Structure 1
């Protein structure tokens, strides 16, 4: 008869700290992650955070520009309140620069997003909000309109673009990255005072 020896249980050998290969630290962008007291409030249609801490490639690109320029900023730290009819709403600006300028990076600029910026501007006109678009020539309205009777399509004479919307509502804007002139504007206490006022939750 063949003899069978009992199986020996293999216990993994423990590696000493000197034997373990140290992983290189991950490269991260310098962002402020301090939470505000109202962070528990839900934000509708919020994009998930990426591995680098931002919510889109455009945000990441702009953060790199700010870091390269040596401009300090706070990312999604401040929650600014405004009133939507019958309810109080809030949102977190993408970038609040040290000089008090608020940078909003936009790939898609939908109707809900546009509306909350109009309300915010009406209720806090002292805030300095500027937009950085992936493409400011993107149209809000269809370039071609369809005739309901014949079904034929004709090109609109003046389709509304992101750029045209900003000009109409008094917002400065840029494409891809912010102009260096925005980053080098001096510190403004008035801008920061406006941000602090907007952070106060209003009563309905």
Structure 2
């Protein structure tokens, strides 16, 4: 692969419809450092467990509307009545365990605010050093020692539905690692964003 195109087509790390291509080009792997953004991505990655990411993206606007734009303060106040309303909403991913995790994870996020390691500091403490770019998808792991350690740490703080695989997907999505392929059309652009970041 030549770093820009392969067989005459732009190289992306995963294929799909226009929504997925836009997510890949504009969002995936670009650093997210704010609490709300990290909480939202953590929730979306949990929703993705067992289904395709394309489904999550198609439902993202509905999920944002239902979960108050993933504002932790608001979601933390959801009660059982709200849970039942969410489960009856046909536009959502209607899984009781996942919806319960979104609510409990909002409460865990608020609890971290009063600690020495609020959610952004905790997550970004697991930022990985720059490594050689993967040349193909088979070079990209599904879990790492860091994702296992971060999953354990998050669980210790009360977070749910966050195994090592889900956490590694989170790390990829929010920029703790840059798993764009060596030939990917946005690899260098994303790497520049990583390099421009200061320490959390």
TM bin (shorter chain) = under 0.3
Q: TM-score, normalised by structure 2?
A: 0.27
Identify, as 1 or 2, the structure richer in strand: 1
Q: TM-score, normalised by structure 1?
A: 0.27
Identify, as 1 or 2, the structure richer in helix: 2
Structure exhibiting the larger radius of gyration computed from Cα positions: 1
Task: Compare relative contact order (CA 8 Å, sep 6+) and give the higher one, 1 or 2.
Answer: 2
